[in-house]
């Protein structure tokens, strides 16, 4: 490292004037076949919803390809696929909703396969840096059992990373602190 990093600061309470955009919560265009909603509530250490959170996701398409700047692994050919979504609507209830598709499995450096997963960033007032978690899918039991990242997570906490099927989509609640605290990663 030749130069030192610029430090992180909180996103603060007023990011909604700058960061959201109309299609932000859509990782795929509306009407995409197989698209579903992932919804969840972000809770603080007192169990209260965090009304001013910002979440972002990043993921591969169902073929395991990204809409990546660099073209790693071959660029996604799925029409309109962005693979990135940002939800920062502050309507006070702490609930987020993103529209996406299930990503494919990805090859690991050691030769294994990762289970379908979505990287997620959470920021808010009162958070001086982002936290990072991963969304896995509860209905991918076999793939999850083989996932090298999930295997690093203590067995009794893995459930915090599993999105549960609900109403044709999935639910993924986030607990920043306290009982059932979501697993966060150092990336």
Partner 1 sequence: MSTEETTESIYTPVGDTPGNYVREPADAHPPLDYPPYKSTSLRHPKQPLIYLPNTITEITGPALGDARVITPDDANLTAQHAGEPIGERISVSGRVFDTEGKPLRNTLVEIWQANSAGRYRHRWDNWPAPLDPNFTGAGRCLTDDEGRYRFLTIKPGPYPWGNHYNAWRPAHIHFSLMGRAFTQRLVTQMYFPGDPFFPYDPIFNSVRDEGARDRMISRFSIHGTQPDWAQAYEFDIYLRGPAATPFEEAH
Output the smallest distance, CB 167 to partner 1, in A: 26
Instruction: Build a one-symbol-per-residue string for 24-43: x at contacts with partner 1 by CB under 8 A, - elsewhere.
Output: --------------------
Interface pick for partner 1 out of 28, 38, 87, 105 (rule CB under 8 A): 105
Q: Which is nearer to partner 1, 129 or 165 (CB)?
A: 129
Contacting residues for 110 by C-beta, under 8 A, at least 6 apart: 148
- Report if residue 16 touches partner 1, rule: CB under 8 A: yes
**28, 87 contact by CB (below 8 A):** no
- Report if residue 100 touches partner 1, rule: CB under 8 A: no
Q: State how far the Cα of 83 lies from the Cα of 52, in Å rounded to an integer.
A: 23
Q: Which is nearer to partner 1, 29 or 166 (CB)?
A: 29
Q: Which is nearer to partner 1, 153 or 166 (CB)?
A: 153
Chain centre to alpha carbon of residue 83: 10
Binding residues for partner 1, rule CB under 8 A, total: 84
Residues, the chain, total? 187
- Report if residue 108 touches partner 1, rule: CB under 8 A: yes
Q: State how far the Cα of 167 lies from the Cα of 178, in Å rounded to an integer.
A: 28
Interface pick for partner 1 out of 28, 39, 59, 101 (rule CB under 8 A): 59
Chain centre to alpha carbon of residue 107: 19
Instruction: Build a one-symbol-per-residue string for 126-155: x at contacts with partner 1 by CB under 8 A, - elsewhere.
Output: xxxxxxx-x--------------x--xx--
Q: State how far the Cα of 142 lies from the Cα of 70, in Å rounded to an integer.
A: 31
Interface pick for partner 1 out of 37, 41, 49, 119 (rule CB under 8 A): 119
Chain centre to alpha carbon of residue 24: 13
Q: Which is nearer to partner 1, 33 or 186 (CB)?
A: 186
Q: State how far the Cα of 55 lies from the Cα of 16, in Å rounded to an integer.
A: 12
């Amino acid at each position: 490292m030749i130069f030192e990093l610029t430090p992180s600061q909180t996103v603060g309470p007023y990011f909604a004037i700058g960061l959201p955009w109309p299609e932000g919560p859509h990782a795929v265009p509306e009407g995409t076949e197989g698209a579903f909603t992932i919804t969840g509530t972000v809770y603080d250490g007192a169990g209260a919803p965090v009304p001013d959170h910002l979440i972002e996701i990043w993921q591969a398409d169902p073929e395991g390809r990204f809409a990546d700047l660099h073209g790693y692994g071959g660029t996604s050919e799925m029409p309109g696929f962005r693979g990135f979504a940002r939800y920062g609507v502050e309507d006070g209830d702490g609930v987020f909703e993103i529209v996406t598709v299930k990503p494919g499995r990805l090859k690991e450096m050691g030769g294994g396969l990762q289970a379908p997963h979505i990287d997620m960033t959470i920021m808010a007032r009162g958070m001086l840096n982002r936290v990072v978690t991963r969304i896995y899918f509860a209905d991918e039991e076999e793939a999850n059992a083989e996932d090298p990242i999930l295997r690093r997570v203590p067995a009794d906490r893995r459930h915090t990373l599993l999105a549960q099927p609900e109403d044709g989509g999935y639910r993924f609640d986030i607990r920043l602190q306290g009982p059932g605290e979501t697993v966060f990663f150092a990336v």
